[in-house]
């Protein structure tokens, strides 16, 4: 965790020096609709949230690099039988780095579209039965081996698009494609996260 935060601090500091006064920043927040792509059967989407702070380092009038820190609520609903659906909710701290293209629309604002890698770190999580005959709730154990639920570190690619007005207000949508197999033993579990939100950028 300390290495993750140190890497983020070095990245932000380097981009700040690179931008030489042209550095901007912003905040995005909204709703996540996550699920898993898994070899263990079908999952249904959860509903969660995200909050992302980011820097905007221009590399040309139409392109910027946007590194950020993002608190992401991920997970899924496992399809059960006698236990009903088992909801898995995971809080993750992600560090995305996106290359963003900005397409001006006269004097009203600009469309933006971007993509880039992210690394995520599982902070906490819970499993909870949401129906059926058996009720239970337990904390998610991160790691590999017997008794663990998910690996802690995730890596993937995210995509974003939206529109920002000249006053800084924006609407945005995104998709996170997890590439890391989070299954602690055999099989496969990968994050898939749709999101929609609002934000403000300067």
40 pLDDT band, cuts 50/70/90, is confident
Task: Read off the pTM.
Answer: 0.84
Can you tell me the mean pLDDT for 149-165?
96
Q: What's the rounded Cα separation, in Å, for the pair 89 and 128? A: 9
58 pLDDT band, cuts 50/70/90, is very high
Neighbours of 19 (CB within 10 A): 17
pLDDT at 128 over 80: yes
DSSP track, 48-81: EEEEEEEEEEEEETTEEEEEEEEEEEEEEEEE-S
Number of compact structural domains in the chain: 1
79 pLDDT band, cuts 50/70/90, is confident
Of 92 and 9, the structure prediction assigns the larger pLDDT to 92
**Residue 190, domain extent:** 2-201
Report the CATH number that the domain containing residue 141 is assigned in CATH: 2.40.160.20
pLDDT tens, 1-24? 555 555 555 455 544 544 445 799
At residue 16, the 3 state secondary structure works out as helix
């Amino acid at each position: 965790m300390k290495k993750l935060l140190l890497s983020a601090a070095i990245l932000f500091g380097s981009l700040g020096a690179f931008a030489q006064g042209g550095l901007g920043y912003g905040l995005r927040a909204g709703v996540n609709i996550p699920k898993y792509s898994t070899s263990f059967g079908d999952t249904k989407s959860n509903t969660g949230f995200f909050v992302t702070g980011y820097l905007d380092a221009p590399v040309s009038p139409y392109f910027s690099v946007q590194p950020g820190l993002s608190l992401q609520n991920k997970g899924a609903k496992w399809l059960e039988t006698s236990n009903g659906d088992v909801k898995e909710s995971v809080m993750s701290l992600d560090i995305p780095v996106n290359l963003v293209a900005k397409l001006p629309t006269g004097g009203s604002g600009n469309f933006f579209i971007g993509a880039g890698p992210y690394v995520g770190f599982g902070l906490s999580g819970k499993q909870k039965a949401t129906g059926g005959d058996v009720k239970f709730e337990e904390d998610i154990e991160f790691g590999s081996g017997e008794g663990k639920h998910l690996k802690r570190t995730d890596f993937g690619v995210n995509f974003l698009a939206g529109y920002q007005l000249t006053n800084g207000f924006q609407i945005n949508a995104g998709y996170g494609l997890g590439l890391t197999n989070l299954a602690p033993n055999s099989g496969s579990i990968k994050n898939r996260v749709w999101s929609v939100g609002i934000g403000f950028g300067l």
